[in-house]
Structure 1
Amino acid sequence: MMKGFNTYPLKLVNIYIIHENCWSKYYLNKDLVEILNLIPYPEKNLLRVFAIVSERGYRDITKLKFEERIKEIFNVYRYGNKIFVDLGRDYDNSIFSIITKHNGIVLNTMKYNGGEIWNFLTYEHKINRIIKDLDEIAEIENVNISDNLPLDTLTDKEFKILSLAYEAGYFDYPRKIKARDLANMLGIKQSTLIYHLRNAEKKIIGSFIKNISKD
């Protein structure tokens, strides 16, 4: 076995879920809400959600804000026929908080018609715990676990850096290791580490989105 690596199998998990205490349960529009990024602020019980929606989808989201199912809308920006929305919801008991609590790496998530799709990477031995915790706050409609990781396009260096970052807790919240310390472990500059990590993340997410689009 290669030094610095272990034999825990990494799995790709896809779930479709109805989240009872989330605004998505009341978003009954079939227009897809694409989530660009999620930023947690646990100390404020806030999860920032950066989303792309249609005109009709945005009208439904503003209605949910009026009904206080969404905590806050921080910013709205229109480009073309799409609308960028920066909104906030409770961090506690969010799907994101549960996945990341168990060290999962969220690849992407989408909302539509009262449900949520989540795609994430996690170790095989953590899947049952994640599902158990999710089941306590939501209705799990479908779970798909796959060995087909979207890692084919990664270079050896990108895969090595991504694996070590995962093992060392770089993707945990709060992070267990800083980028500077991770770079020192690898004997590279911090800027080089960040460059390779971002490339790896971009490739993984891009590959997964392409596969979802094909389906």
Structure 2
Amino acid sequence: MVSRAGVYYFEVEHHGCWTTITRDQDVVVKTLRQEFRDPEIFKASVMIIGKDTRSFITKIRRLKDILKVDINLFQERRWVNGERTRLALMDFESRRHGSISDLVYRLGGIILRQEVVGGLEKWKILIPRSSNRLEETLREALNRGCSLVEMRGRDLEPSIIDGSIDAMLTIYEKQALIAALKSSFIDYPRRAKAADVAKMLGVSPATFIYHFRRAEKKLARLVLLE
């Protein structure tokens, strides 16, 4: 049986969300990762770039739905043209209820890209199962509490997604990918070295990297190839 998966892109203005702060701030906020280990709270890591980075951080700390904020990096940057900007890496905890992140998670979605600029949230997500009804559900949910600016979707080509991941990856590629996940090798910031993961597998670092990169490439083609 051929599996169906859908890739959806949408832009929304999310009323009452922290993202509205960016309307009058010179910042771009890009999501790096999210965790959903608590039924009420999710954790996120984001990168903030722009002149108003410091002001944005001050404002987001004051919001009642933002429960915790940690700044891991704050830098002043100067571009080639001499213009100054600021960059920060921020971890935060937020209430799940009413968030688009929670909606995507409950639909079984995977965030491919997400950024916020000028008060507008821009999302690109993969949903492993795709149907007209699911797209309607997503659209209806986004229209509750949001102003939907744009939405479009497409099914991935059956030739790309036919068959299981087990069949797509070699045993060595699968082992390398599992070890990388379990050791937090692909977390940001990285929590393990290639040599440490390779030792777990009983192979050289070069061998581990070779199979891990091949697995990454195959999964990227599965998700992103037009």
Q: TM-score range by the shorter chain?
A: 0.5 to 0.7
* Change beyond 3 A, Cα 1:46–1:204: farther
User: How much has 1:197 moved relative to structure 2?
Assistant: 9.7
1:12 counterpart residue number: 7
Q: How many residues align?
A: 178
2:125 counterpart residue number: 120
2:150 counterpart residue number: 142
* Change beyond 3 A, Cα 1:66–1:114: same
1:38 counterpart residue number: 34
* 1:52-63 → structure 2 map (5 Å cutoff): 52-54=47-49, 55-63=51-59
* Change beyond 3 A, Cα 1:198–1:73: farther
1:161 touches 1:197 (CA, 8 Å); kept in 2? Answer: no
Q: In percent, how many aligned pairs have the same letter? A: 14
| Counterpart code for 1:124 | S
Report which of the two structures shows the higher radius of gyration computed on alpha carbons: 2
1:162 touches 1:197 (CA, 8 Å); kept in 2? Answer: no
| Counterpart code for 1:100 | Y
* 1:193-212 → structure 2 map (5 Å cutoff): 193-194=177-178, 195=212, 199=216, 203=220
| Counterpart code for 1:145 | G
Structure 2: gaps (5+ residues): 78-86, 179-211
User: How much has 1:189 moved relative to structure 2?
Assistant: 8.8
* TM-score, normalised with respect to structure 1: 0.66
Structure 1: gaps (5+ residues): 1-5, 165-182
Cα-Cα RMSD: 3.8
Decide which moves more: 117-126 or 199-208: 199-208
* TM-score, normalised with respect to structure 2: 0.63
User: How much has 1:23 moved relative to structure 2?
Assistant: 0.2
| Counterpart code for 2:7 | L
Q: 1:96 aligns with which of 74, 83, 101?
A: 101
User: How much has 1:18 moved relative to structure 2?
Assistant: 1.2
2:114 touches 2:123 (CA, 8 Å); kept in 1? Answer: yes
